[in-house]
């Protein structure tokens, strides 16, 4: 074998030994078990003594058998550590939780319990942080970020935008503490009037949005009317009736355009005296936006009575 090839083979073997803990353990055991035999052979060769080749062969076979048994037992003892390592890597890289099923009272058992505890603790903390990142701290509702994620999952049905009436006056007259109370209480009342399949989120300020994934616009109109009546009928604060104006639009696949149409319908409700739910039939506003505009209604919008709601 050429010298360069031998050098490359040795480097490969050394790299394997450096990287593999199990290989180092096996090599150590092999050398340790065979050291007495190597010493005996070396002594005989140096002193020129007689070799009992039969006995030497027997001892060699015994040491090889002992080495094999030792390596087998060591591998079984070390495998739980390998599984613990894979479980930690799986969670760190892919957020996958592998069950660490090793149970013992020794050090490896303690390592397995500690690794399982660490993975569960980290998973719970991550879930808590993810929940906080997607939740409005004041009302406990999903926030704007969560709303758009939900909107991508549920593309059909209808969407509604809600804006509390005269909220600035409430803040100026009663203070921000009362304003926060009104926001929390109103959010709870609206959520209680919705169906299990509906989802309300807070867009910001006094503005909320509702996804109604299983509803036609007419069905969504009646659901939002029920929510409006629930808010108006509740004694949220003394000496003042809390109400909201809302716009409802059919989902078309472009959530930004859908919000723009619902927003225009909501401003029709504001212009019509507030405390109303208006259904939009305008399908022309399909440009992509980040914040629903405050545009006026289209000239050919038609206002029709529909129970307590309107169509525009």
Per residue in 113-149, pLDDT tens? 999 999 999 989 888 887 777 888 899 999 998 999 8
Q: Find where tokens 């989802």 sit.
A: 199
- The string of pLDDT tens digits covering residues 197-249 is 999 999 989 999 999 998 999 999 999 999 999 999 998 998 889 999 999 99
Long-range own/partner contacts, residues 71-79 (CB < 8 A, 24 or more apart) = 71/26, 71/29, 71/30, 74/22, 74/25, 74/26, 74/29, 75/22, 75/26, 77/108, 78/21, 78/22, 78/25
Q: Which of 206, 115, 112 is nearest to 167 (CA)?
A: 206
> Which of 75, 96, 80, 92 has the alpha carbon at shortest distance from 23?
75
Using a cut of 0.75, tell me whether the model's pTM lies above it.
no
96 contact partners, CB below 8 Å, separation of at least 6 = 90
Q: Among 220, 214, 303, 208, which Cα is nearest to 263's?
A: 208
Task: Average the pLDDT over 187-196 and give the result.
Answer: 95
Question: Is the pLDDT higher at 281 or at 290?
Answer: 281
CA distances from 177 to 88, 172, 191, 236 (A): 46, 11, 21, 13
pLDDT, the chain, mean:
82
Q: If pLDDT is split at 50, 70 and 90, which confidence band does 307 have? A: very low
For 302, other C-beta atoms within 10 Å of its C-beta total 11
Tens-digit pLDDT profile for residues 63-96: 888 878 887 888 888 888 889 999 999 988 888 8
All structural domains of the chain with their residue ranges: 3-130, 144-311
Known active-site residue 206: yes
- Does domain 144-311 fall under CATH 3.30.70.270? My reply is yes
Which of the following is catalytic: 89, 132, 206, 302?
206
């Amino acid at each position: 074998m050429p010298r360069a090839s031998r050098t490359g083979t040795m480097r490969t073997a050394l790299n394997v030994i450096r990287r593999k803990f199990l290989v180092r353990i096996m090599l150590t055991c092999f050398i340790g078990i065979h050291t007495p035999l190597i010493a005996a052979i070396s002594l005989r060769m140096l002193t020129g003594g007689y070799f009992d080749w039969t006995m030497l062969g027997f001892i060699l076979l015994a040491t090889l058998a002992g080495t094999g048994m030792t390596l087998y037992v060591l591998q079984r003892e070390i495998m739980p550590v390998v599984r613990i390592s894979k479980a930690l890597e799986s969670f760190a890289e892919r957020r996958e939780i592998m069950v660490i099923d090793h149970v013992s009272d020794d050090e490896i058992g303690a390592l397995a319990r500690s690794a399982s505890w660490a993975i569960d603790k980290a998973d719970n903390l991550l879930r808590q942080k993810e929940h906080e990142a997607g939740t409005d701290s004041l009302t406990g509702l999903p926030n704007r970020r969560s709303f758009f994620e939900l909107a991508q999952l549920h593309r059909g049905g209808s969407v509604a935008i809600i804006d509390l009436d005269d909220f600035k006056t409430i803040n100026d007259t009663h203070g921000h503490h009362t304003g926060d109370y009104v926001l929390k209480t109103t959010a709870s009342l609206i959520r209680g009037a919705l169906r299990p399949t509906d989802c309300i989120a807070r867009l910001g300020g006094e503005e909320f949005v509702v996804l109604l994934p299983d509803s036609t616009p007419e069905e969504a109109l009646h659901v939002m009317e029920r929510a409006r009546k629930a808010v108006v009928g509740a004694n949220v604060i003394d000496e003042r009736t809390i109400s909201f104006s809302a716009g409802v639009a059919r989902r078309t696949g472009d959530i930004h355009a859908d919000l723009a149409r619902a927003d225009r319908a909501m401003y029709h409700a504001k212009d019509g005296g507030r405390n109303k739910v208006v259904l939009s039939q305008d399908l022309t506003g399909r440009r992509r936006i980040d914040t629903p505009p405050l545009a006026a209604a289209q000239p050919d919008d038609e206002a029709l009575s529909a129970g307590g709601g309107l169509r525009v």
